[in-house]
């Protein structure tokens, strides 16, 4: 692969690393979801960079567009779940979800 | 490549800012700015459709959804984060970046590019003709999203 591709790989690894750390360390549900979004950004950057380096930009672009459309669906569902969790527990703390009912 | 690197550095900075800033509203706006920079990076990689989607959908629509959720829950501040997590993050990130750079330097020229047929045609042809089955899957995912939101926000019956 070309040297440019490694630069993109470096930056997407940085995004994914920061996102994974936050997923493991933080407790606020919205913050955790922002971390998932950032991991997604790293992955889509890497997808497009690989397509760019291999002259397959059209296919990579189609994959990224598909990913973005699916992401919107995911975000809408996840945020609806977060709002419902808040209505039930009156908090966004993920530790309060440890208590299961039934 | 210099402009591209500056944009990528900005992307990582705004993303990290979205993860560490205490106010959730500011975090959502940082995420939108990161998406905007990523969209510009896509444009510069000759991927205008992905750039348009990234800027309009991710920087626009998803940010609005985030801000709406923050306004509806209004409880971002009361979650007590572990103090150690905030202190360790800068240290972790610097060490991670150093290891990342070291590994990338070691990997230079070592990953072979798998030979493939060069692409031809327009983006529309690749998007609609190259994909058949996953398009059905995508429609299913969008419908599942719509139905799950409807199910989550339905009005409860009185005897329920």
Residues of chain B with pLDDT under 70: 75-77, 156-160
Confidence category of residue A18, pLDDT binned at 50, 70, 90: very high
| Closest-CA distance of chain A to residue B126, Å | 6
Q: A9 to chain B: which residues are within 8 Å by CB?
A: 104, 107
Q: Is residue B119 part of a domain?
A: no
| Closest-CA distance of chain B to residue A27, Å | 6
What per-residue confidence (pLDDT) applies to A15?
95
What per-residue confidence (pLDDT) applies to B98?
92
Taking CB atoms and an 8 Å limit, are B50 and A61 in contact across chains? yes
What per-residue confidence (pLDDT) applies to A54?
85
Q: Is residue B8 part of a domain?
A: yes
Establish if B44 touches chain A: CB-CB under 8 angstroms: no
What per-residue confidence (pLDDT) applies to B80?
78
What per-residue confidence (pLDDT) applies to B94?
92
Establish if B53 touches chain A: CB-CB under 8 angstroms: yes
Q: Is residue B3 part of a domain?
A: yes
| Closest-CA distance of chain B to residue A1, Å | 5
Establish if B139 touches chain A: CB-CB under 8 angstroms: no
Per-residue pLDDT, averaged over A35-52, amounts to 93
CA atoms within 13 A on the CB side of B72: 16
CATH number of the domain residue B27 falls in: 1.20.120.1200
Cβ atoms B77, B35 nearer than 8 A: no
Q: What is the CA radius of gyration of chain B?
A: 21
What per-residue confidence (pLDDT) applies to A42?
95
**Closest residue to B108, CB basis, from A6, A22, A26:** A6
Establish if A83 touches chain B: CB-CB under 8 angstroms: yes
Q: Is residue B150 part of a domain?
A: no
The fold of A3-96 is: Helix Hairpins (1.10.287)
What per-residue confidence (pLDDT) applies to B75?
59
Taking CB atoms and an 8 Å limit, are A37 and B31 in contact across chains? yes
Range of the domain at B2: 1-76
Number of domains in chain B: 1
What per-residue confidence (pLDDT) applies to B19?
92
Q: Is residue B138 part of a domain?
A: no
Q: What is the pTM of this model?
A: 0.89
**Closest residue to A18, CB basis, from B62, B69, B93:** B93
């Amino acid at each position: 692969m070309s040297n440019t591709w490694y630069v993109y790989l470096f930056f997407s690894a940085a995004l994914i690393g920061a996102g994974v750390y936050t997923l493991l360390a933080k407790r606020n549900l919205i913050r955790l979801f922002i971390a998932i979004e950032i991991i997604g950004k790293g992955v889509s950057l890497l997808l497009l960079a690989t397509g760019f380096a291999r002259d397959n930009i059209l296919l990579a672009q189609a994959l990224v567009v598909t990913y973005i459309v699916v992401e919107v669906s995911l975000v809408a569902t996840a945020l609806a779940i977060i709002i419902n969790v808040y209505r039930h527990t009156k908090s966004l703390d993920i530790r309060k979800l440890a208590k299961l009912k039934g | 490549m210099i402009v591209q690197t500056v944009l990528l550095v900005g992307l990582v900075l705004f993303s990290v800012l979205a993860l560490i800033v205490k106010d959730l509203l500011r975090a959502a706006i940082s995420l939108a700015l990161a998406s905007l920079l990523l969209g510009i990076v896509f444009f510069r990689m000759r991927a205008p459709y992905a750039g348009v989607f990234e800027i309009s959908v991710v920087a626009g629509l998803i940010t609005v959804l985030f801000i709406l959720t923050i306004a509806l829950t209004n409880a971002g501040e009361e979650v007590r984060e572990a103090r150690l997590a905030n202190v360790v993050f800068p240290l972790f990130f610097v060490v991670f970046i150093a290891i990342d750079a070291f590994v990338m330097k070691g990997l230079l020229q070592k990953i072979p590019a798998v030979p493939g047929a060069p692409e031809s045609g327009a983006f529309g042809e690749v998007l609609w003709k190259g994909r058949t089955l996953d398009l059905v899957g995508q429609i299913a995912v969008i419908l599942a999203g719509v139905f799950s939101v409807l199910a989550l926000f339905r009005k409860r019956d009185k005897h329920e």
